[in-house]
Amino acid sequence: MIRRIAPVDCDAIAALEARLFATALDQARLMALQANPVFCGFVDLVPEQDQPQSTSADDLASYLGGYLLAMMIDDEAEILSIGVTPDRQRQGVGKLLLQHFFEHGTSQNMTRVVLEVAEDNVPALGLYRDFGFAAFGRRKGYYKQGNQKIDAIMMKWCRAEAFP
Ligand SMILES: CC(C)(COP(=O)(O)OP(=O)(O)OC[C@H]1O[C@@H](n2cnc3c(N)ncnc32)[C@H](O)[C@@H]1OP(=O)(O)O)[C@@H](O)C(=O)NCCC(=O)NCCS
């Protein structure tokens, strides 16, 4: 099930961000983002029967299947982050989160969405292309992975273009 992000989700999102990204948004940053009136975000909730029974620190965030964070100003949006918990990846959660985001955006008359993605992030590039995003630029060495620098591909979606 997908719902809008609430302040109570920030701990779980911060924990998942830290698992997924070398440079992650922390709890304080997420709380600040969440309080911003232009913020728009969704979480995917793992059904109760699929959640682990234990209450270890890791499992406290186990209700979270994934999340999408964005800013929406007038008819333009920027996707800041999207992540799916590793054991639920490639099961359609990312697609569902983007579908909800686009449904909400359509109700807000959204006409343009931009985002950045590492050039070697094959799953994310595939997901964005499926939704009609197209590359329009590149930021050299934008991401750091250990000693390596990876370019960011800048992608955009415009309402007149493809929509699944
Ligand atoms: C990118 C990410 C959000 C995709 O979410 P997901 O739930 O695993 O993706 P879905 O199952 O909804 O797949 C949707 C489409 O994305 C693409 N995709 C997803 N995983 C893929 C993979 N491992 N290899 C190639 N393409 C992939 C495919 O086009 C797929 O459509 P298909 O299943 O019909 O082929 C997820 O892999 C993730 O959290 N990655 C780590 C964090 C990250 O990199 N976020 C993006 C930052 S820009």
Phi, psi of 41 (to 5 degrees): -155, 155
Give 75-106 pLDDT, tens digit per residue: 999 999 999 999 999 999 999 999 999 999 99
Q: Which residue's alpha carbon is nearest to atom 43 within ligand 1?
A: 83
- Which residue's CA lies nearest to atom 29 of ligand 1? 126
Binding site membership of 87 for ligand 1 (Cβ less than 6 Å): no
The ligand 1 atom nearest the CA atom of 97: 12
pLDDT band of 116, cuts 50, 70, 90: very high
Q: Which residue, judged by its Cα, is nearest atom 24 of ligand 1?
A: 123
Query: Mean pLDDT, to the nearest integer, of 101-128?
Result: 97
Q: How far is the CA of 111 from the centre of ligand 1 (A)?
A: 24
Three-state secondary structure of the chain: CEEECCHHHHHHHHHHHHHHCCCCCCHHHHHHHHHCCCEEEEEEECCHHHCCCCCCCHHHHCCEEEEEEEEEECCEEEEEEEEECHHHCCCCHHHHHHHHHHHHHHHCCCCEEEEEEECCCHHHHHHHHHCCCEEEEEEEEEEEECCEEEEEEEEEEECCCCCC
The pLDDT value given to residue 162: 47
Is pLDDT above 80 for 56?
no
164 lines ligand 1 (CB under 6 A): no
Ligand 1 centre from 126 Cα, in Å?
Answer: 7
Burial tier of 43 (Cβ tally within 10 Å: 0-12, 13-18, 19+) = buried
The pTM score is 0.93
